[in-house]
């Protein structure tokens, strides 16, 4: 990140006089105080807890300055703003402009992560390319991504997620893309959004703040029609451009496209991945990547694992898996998301939560705080795993019917992970939905695998 303290203060409209502190270069920014190191800007956001409570920690970790919604002591260089999140977003918009970055935005119900990964890989053959990491695709994650791109970035591939109508419009306003891709207008019951037409309206907001004269790729879907922009070149895939001669192999795909001489070999399966790769290829070609480079990079494709993903258990139960990292905000958000999804007919809702690691001295309170997001009217069973999450067990056992909350231990002497796995294998019914969330080191990935395979 190439920004100075005084520059940031001016961009976000600081309400205090920051010239009392020298105009130092800030080398990065974080909203998780654990990640702050020398020269960083701290951004206190309101998550499960208010980030302002962690400003002391941030300075102890070496931060050079912080945004803040309240006055702080003079020895804490700070930029006083009305709303730290809005300031973060304003800063990201300014940074894209300042660095002269071309932005490609990808949204859609399914396949947006894959398409983004494919596109970033193909563009990397020719340009310095940076992309959204993990699930950093919302009103916090997107500006964070922007402000974390390497200084020499030329193309930025941003994933845009939507939880509510209006989300994508905001993200488009921050990023001002010159290319937009809508991969799919999903199914209403999967999106919990109020109808497929609402989903279409939301996704097409990607074009609201695109630079005029850009390229917009949309699926061949009636519902998109009312929302198509006038000032963009609109290409409808499945109609204007197509996957041709698709051959599915055991571990790969071969196909050609209506717009390229060369055929594409893709080392992944799934018909929809041919479509995703076609979208990546079309955008790359539009941005000046040669067909040869496109074909070569797609043939060496490596897809990153999705952080949050829906999977199917061997018996058909729905698994919402988010097992690679955990902080209190992310755990709370996924609990709320999972709880809001209607249960399958005759199916139960089950939650498996494991320790969030490296939370420091207040770990007991931070785990216990999740109790507010565990609703016995919605959730049927709660399984907790690990020593740190024990404080939540005591509260949850009081709140839920007898026997519906179980704790599994993990220490140097005992590890009850197998016990947890076996219990789940024996009790999970085909119509059930199950959420798993915890720090990577708690190995919940093993549980997900066992459920997918149907045996330990
Ligand atoms: O859901 S998120 O992970 N998100 C990131 C952006 O992209 C989309 C997903 C997320 C969001 Cl949306 C917002 C916030 Cl504020 C995560 C956070 C977040 O990092 N929250 C964190 C905390 C809360 N609440 S990180 C963190 C806490 C670490 N902190 C505890 C509270 C460690 C700590 C413990 C004890 C101390 O004394 C000092 C620090």
For a substitution probing ligand 1, which of 160, 328, 337 has the most ligand atoms within 8 Å of its CB?
328
Mean per-residue pLDDT of the chain: 95
Partners of 436 in the β-ladder: 321, 352
Report the pLDDT averaged over residues 81-93: 98
Query: What are the E-state strand segments in 145-213?
Result: 155-159, 179-182
Going by CA atoms, what residue is nearest to atom 14 of ligand 1? 47
Nearest CA owner, ligand 1 atom 2: 330
Whether the pLDDT of residue 352 is over 90: the answer is yes
What is the enclosing helix (H) or strand (E) of 273?
A: helix 271-286
Q: Given this model, what pLDDT does residue 201 score?
A: 93
Ligand 1 center to residue 424 CA distance, Å?
29
Sign of CA pseudo-dihedral 160, 164, 168, 170: negative
User: Could you say which DSSP state residue 225 is in?
Assistant: G
Q: What is the pLDDT of residues 387-401, one digit of tens each?
A: 999 999 999 999 999
- Provide the token pair at 157: 């591939």
Is 80 exceeded by the pLDDT of residue 110? no
Pocket test residue of 45, 46, 47 for ligand 1, highest count of atoms within 8 A of CB: 47
| Paired tokens of 187 | 């199914």
Alpha helices, DSSP H, located in 125-166 = 141-147
Listed residue (174, 168, 282) closest to 227, CA to CA: 168
Mean pLDDT lowest among 106-115, 245-254, 268-277, 313-322? 106-115
pTM, rounded to two decimals? 0.93
Estimate to the nearest angstrom the gap between the alpha carbon of 20 and the chain centroid: 38
- Calculate how far, in angstroms, residue 359's C-alpha sits from the geometric centre of ligand 1: 10
- Provide mean pLDDT across the span 281-302: 96
Pocket of ligand 1 contains residue 124 by CB under 6 Å: no
The pLDDT of residue 376 is above 60: yes
Residues β-bridged to residue 237: 219, 241
Residue nearest ligand 1's atom 6 by CA: 141
What CA–CA distances, in Å, run from 47 to 85, 350, 369, 421, 423?
11, 24, 12, 31, 33
State the pairing for strand pair 25-26/3-4: antiparallel
Contact 155, 188 (CB under 8 A): no
The contacts of residue 270 (CB under 8 Å, 6+ apart) are 253
Within 10 angstroms of residue 267's Cβ, the number of other Cβ atoms is 15
161 lines ligand 1 (CB under 6 A): no
CA distance 38 to 27: 8
| Contact by Cβ (8 Å): 424, 451 | yes
Cβ neighbours of residue 397 closer than 8 Å, sequence gap 6 or more? 405
Q: Determine the average pLDDT of the residues in 375-398.
A: 98
Q: Is 330 in the pocket of ligand 1 (CB under 6 A)?
A: yes
249 lines ligand 1 (CB under 6 A): no
Phi-psi region of 105 (alpha: psi -120 to 50; beta: other; left: phi over 0): beta
pLDDT at 305 over 90: no
Helix (H) or strand (E) holding 124: helix 112-124
Evaluate: CB of 282 within 6 angstroms of ligand 1.
Answer: no
Q: How confident is the model at residue 55 (pLDDT cuts 50, 70, 90)?
A: very high
Our answer on whether the CB atom of 328 is closer than 6 Å to any ligand 1 atom is: yes
Token output for 225: 């029609």
- pLDDT at residue 196 in the model: 84
Query: Which pLDDT tens digit goes with each residue over 136-162?
Result: 999 999 999 999 999 999 999 999 998
What local confidence, expressed as pLDDT, does residue 306 receive?
66
Ligand 1 center to 223 CA (angstroms) = 37
- Say if residue 325's pLDDT is above 80: no
What pLDDT, on a 0 to 100 scale, did the predictor assign at position 188?
54
- Average pLDDT estimate for 21-28: 97
180-203 pLDDT tens trace: 999 988 765 556 667 888 889 999
In the chain, what percentage of residues exceed pLDDT 70?
98
| Binding site membership of 34 for ligand 1 (Cβ less than 6 Å) | yes
Q: Which pLDDT tens digit goes with each residue over 3-18?
A: 999 999 999 999 999 9
**Least confident piece of the model among 268-277, 323-332, 419-428:** 323-332
Report CA-CA distances (Å) from 173 to 151, 199, 201, 211: 22, 19, 16, 10
pLDDT of residue 149: 98
**Ligand 1 lined by 42 (C-beta under 6 Å):** no
Q: How distant, in Å, are the alpha carbons of 44, 301, 326 from that of 334?
A: 21, 30, 10
Q: Is 33 in the pocket of ligand 1 (CB under 6 A)?
A: yes
């Amino acid at each position: 990140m190439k920004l100075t303290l005084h520059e940031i203060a001016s961009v976000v409209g600081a309400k205090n006089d920051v010239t009392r502190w020298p105009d130092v270069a800030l080398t990065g920014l974080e909203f998780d105080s654990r990640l702050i190191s020398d020269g960083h800007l701290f951004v206190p956001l309101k998550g499960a807890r208010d980030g302002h409570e962690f400003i002391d920690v941030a300075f102890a970790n070496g931060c050079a300055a912080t945004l803040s919604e309240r006055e702080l002591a003079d020895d804490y260089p700070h930029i006083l703003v009305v709303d730290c999140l809005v300031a973060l977003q304003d800063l990201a918009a300014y940074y894209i402009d300042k660095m002269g970055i071309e932005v490609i935005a990808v949204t859609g119900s399914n396949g947006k992560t894959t398409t983004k990964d494919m596109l970033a890989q193909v563009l990397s053959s020719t340009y310095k390319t940076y992309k959204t990491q993990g699930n950093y695709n919302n009103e916090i994650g997107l500006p964070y991504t922007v402000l974390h791109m390497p200084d020499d970035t030329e193309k930025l591939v941003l994933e845009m997620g939507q939880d509510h109508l209006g989300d994508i419009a905001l993200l488009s306003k921050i990023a001002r893309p010159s290319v937009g891709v809508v991969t799919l207008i999903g199914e209403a019951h999967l999106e919990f959004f109020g109808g497929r037409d609402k989903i279409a309206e939301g996704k097409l907001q990607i074009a609201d703040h695109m630079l005029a004269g850009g390229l917009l790729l949309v699926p061949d879907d009636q519902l998109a029609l009312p929302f198509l922009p006038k000032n963009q070149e609109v290409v409808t895939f499945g109609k204007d451009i197509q996957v041709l001669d698709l051959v599915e192999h055991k571990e790969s795909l071969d196909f050609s496209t209506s717009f390229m001489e060369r055929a594409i070999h893709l080392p992944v399966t799934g018909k929809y991945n041919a479509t995703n790769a076609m979208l990546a290829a079309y955008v790359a070609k539009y941005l000046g990547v040669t067909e040869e480079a496109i074909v070569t990079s797609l043939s060496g494709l490596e897809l990153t694992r999705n952080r949050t993903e829906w999977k199917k258990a061997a018996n058909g139960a729905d698994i919402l898996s988010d097992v690679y990292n955990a902080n209190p905000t992310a755990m709370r958000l996924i609990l709320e998301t999972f709880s809001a999804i209607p249960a399958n007919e005759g199916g139960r809702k089950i939650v498996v939560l494991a320790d969030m690691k490296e939370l420091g001295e207040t770990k007991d309170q931070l785990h216990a705080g999740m109790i507010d997001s565990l609703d016995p009217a919605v959730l049927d069973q709660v399984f907790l795993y690990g020593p740190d999450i024990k404080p939540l067990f005591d509260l949850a056992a009081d709140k839920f019917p007898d026997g519906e909350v179980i704790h599994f231990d993990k220490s140097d002497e005992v590890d009850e992970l197998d016990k947890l796995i076996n219990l789940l294998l024996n009790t999970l019914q085909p119509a059930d939905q199950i959420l798993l969330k915890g720090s990577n080191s708690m190995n919940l990935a093993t549980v997900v695998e066992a459920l997918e395979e149907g045996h330990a």
